[in-house]
Chain A
């Protein structure tokens, strides 16, 4: 569970939202020209990154608007929220220091584990 800041409604609990999967997947211009493998690749294959991933989210139990999120899938830290149609932002310096992104010492605030610029 984590909090998401909806661009319209403000900070709300994750259960109010639904995830629409990976963002920035472009529909092929001429689907009839594709092979079955290429079409399956477009439809089903996703990166499933451990680290920073760009995702589409919908505030389904609120204002019902779509927006994009850059989220660290290991720590659930939300690094950037931006509108649909915008290009993915550059996010640097968010590599995992530990195997699953857990704090290096103890179980305190994860933000102490990362040095942000």
Chain B
């Protein structure tokens, strides 16, 4: 395996930083696969769902979860598969590659495209609402909610991790080149959370 470095230097080697009760962690090397295909094609759905052992979410801005693998809705014919354990993802990728070896669907390894900033804390939604054009409380209302939106000028994907009775925790998927910028803005935003 290549010797790779985290994108955000302050969070290297899995370091967790805390600012004003908000915890930051970078999950730099979570394996990610982009899957595209026609959701009305029953064969496409059944074969891919069989390989993933979970359903492909067809409802906008939702995800499904099985064995630490999240299948996230990106568009009506596009999904992102993220393996948080990095265990069997290579086998899964090969399996999906076999299934989608045709002109109607496609599979791409997009691991290196984005990094994940994991943020948690009681005032998390208050912090995020400083930067987003989206009503975050409404967008992440359900436990299986995800949202694609703008963070200042940067395109991001937000995935809700917590259950209703747990401390808020989200994963922000962002391009590696812009991760440091976003992290610094978030840290800056924690300074006056009490107002």
Contact = CB atoms under 8 A, between A and B. Distances in A.
Interface of A: 8-10, 12-13, 15-16, 60-65
Contact of A10 (B60, B75, B155): B60
Given A62-B149, A64-B78, 20 more contacts: A8-B60, A8-B75, A8-B76, A9-B60, A9-B61, A9-B148, A10-B60, A12-B149, A13-B134, A15-B133, A15-B150, A16-B150, A60-B155, A61-B150, A62-B148, A63-B76, A64-B74, A64-B75, A65-B75, A65-B76
A65 B75 CA distance: 7
Counting chain B CB atoms within 10 Å of each CB, the highest count among A10, A12, A60, A62 belongs to A62
B70 to A, nearest CB: 17
A16 B133 contact: yes
Nearest to A64: B75
A63 B78 CA distance: 9
Contacts of B76: 8, 63, 65
A10 B141 CA distance: 14
Contacts of B155: 60-61
Interface of B: 60-61, 74-76, 78, 133-134, 148-150, 155
B62 to A, nearest CB: 11
The binding surface of chain A is classed by DSSP as loop
Contacts of A12: 133-134, 149
B148 A61 contact: yes
Contacts of A62: 148-149
Contacts of A8: 60, 75-76
Contacts of A15: 133, 150
A60 B156 CA distance: 11
A63 B60 contact: yes
B6 to A, nearest CB: 25
Nearest to B148: A62
Contacts of B134: 12-13, 16
Contacts of B150: 15-16, 61
A95 B159 CA distance: 44
Counting chain B CB atoms within 10 Å of each CB, the highest count among A10, A61, A64 belongs to A61
